[in-house]
Amino acid sequence: MNGLGGLNKSDQGVVIGMVQLQLPTVATKAELTAQTARVVELVGKARRNMATMDLVVFPEYMLHGLSMNTDPEIMCTMDGPEVAALKQACVDNDIWGCFSIMELNPGGYPYNTGLIIDPQGEVQLYYRKMHPWVPVEPWEPGNGGIPVCTGPKGAKIGLIICHDGMFPEMSREAAYKGAEIMIRTAGYTAPMREAWRFTNQSNSFCNLMITANVCMCGSDGTFDSMGEAMIIDHEGTVIAHGKTGRVDEIITAEVRPDIVREARIGWGVENNPYQFGHRGYVAVKGGAQDCPYTYMTDLAKGAYRLPWEDEVKVTDGTSCGFPLPNRRFNEQEPQS
């Protein structure tokens, strides 16, 4: 699996390109428009760079940078010009695209939204980041679950965003819904490099799935993002890696969802997604299918509570300059 980065494409192969996009600074509508045009330009570069490419993936914060600016003037909407431009870029270049927007939310803070768009310009996957990187990020926690879509060559594709990937439950949920390829887009900076690497590999192996992961790249004068595109097979082996941190480089590989399907059906030892719900099937017919995990049952009851809960020191965003929130999840902002 790789085919010289996708140059030699097999009949069942899906070629993915991960764009280590230069970290932008965007504070005005004009700058947002210019950055959208830059992303569109790089969709074209991806197509010219690799005629076999099926899917091009851009990192989180591709349009907005890392300022955490929530000014409504520069937030996107699904029917706005930025999303329209991304759709047209996929049509013009006959390619699937994965993109990131900060989406206006009239009921509260914006959503950190990921999109997968097909070559006909149709949104096939719409995802709201479930786990904002608190206390740094102000985004509204996602309320739409973890969707999976059918992509090139019939591959089942899931999408999670940055900090989401630090929770093993996120990648397991994507696998449980059938994802054979899981994309993880990020804005992570250099201090997260090692955690980024080993969680990407763990997410792949523990779920017998391909993961395709990419961060923003370069500096905006304040933050230094690391690029670190990684495409990893279902055994946890890195098959393509953007180690140099070169901005706007597109890291490519051919992946084989059909081999993932084969492993999930045929493996005995380490068939982790199956065995998780069929514990000890050698000893008992069908394996144990209970839920012995207290944190899961407590969370389902709305009673999740850590033994050290009362000692946790950071429980809101005031340390990063955000006001104390005054509403519960899924409540609207009070009218003034």
Q: pLDDT tens-digit profile of 67-81?
A: 999 999 999 999 999
Q: pLDDT tens-digit profile of 205-257?
A: 999 999 999 999 999 999 999 999 999 999 999 999 999 899 999 999 999 99
Task: Give a yes or no: residue 85 inside a domain.
Answer: yes
Task: Give a yes or no: residue 299 inside a domain.
Answer: no
User: Is 129 part of the annotated catalytic residue set?
Assistant: yes
Using left for φ > 0, alpha for ψ between -120 and 50, and beta otherwise, residue 6 falls in left
Q: How many domains does the chain have?
A: 1
Write out the residue range of the structural domain in which residue 265 sits. Answer: 3-276
Task: Give a yes or no: residue 318 inside a domain.
Answer: no
Kindly name the residue from 129, 140, 173, 254 that is annotated as catalytic. 129
Q: What percent of the chain has pLDDT over 90?
A: 95
Q: Using 50, 70 and 90 to split pLDDT, how confident is the model at 330?
A: confident
Q: pLDDT tens-digit profile of 24-79?
A: 999 999 999 999 999 999 999 999 999 999 999 999 999 999 999 999 999 999 99
CATH code for the domain in which residue 156 is found: 3.60.110.10
| pLDDT (0 to 100) of residue 244 | 87
Report, as an integer, the average pLDDT of 272-284. Answer: 98
| pLDDT (0 to 100) of residue 29 | 98
Q: pLDDT tens-digit profile of 291-300?
A: 999 999 999 9
Residue with tokens 């492993």: 263
- Looking at every residue in the chain, the average pLDDT score rounds to 96
pTM above 0.85, yes or no: yes
Task: Give a yes or no: residue 316 inside a domain.
Answer: no
Contact 110, 70 (CB under 8 A): yes
Q: pLDDT tens-digit profile of 2-13?
A: 778 899 999 999
Task: List the one residue out of 88, 24, 17, 98 whose CA is nearest residue 61.
Answer: 24
User: Is 162 part of the annotated catalytic residue set?
Assistant: yes
Task: Give a yes or no: residue 57 inside a domain.
Answer: yes
Contact 206, 272 (CB under 8 A): yes
Task: Give a yes or no: residue 288 inside a domain.
Answer: no
Kindly name the residue from 149, 162, 215, 217 that is annotated as catalytic. 162
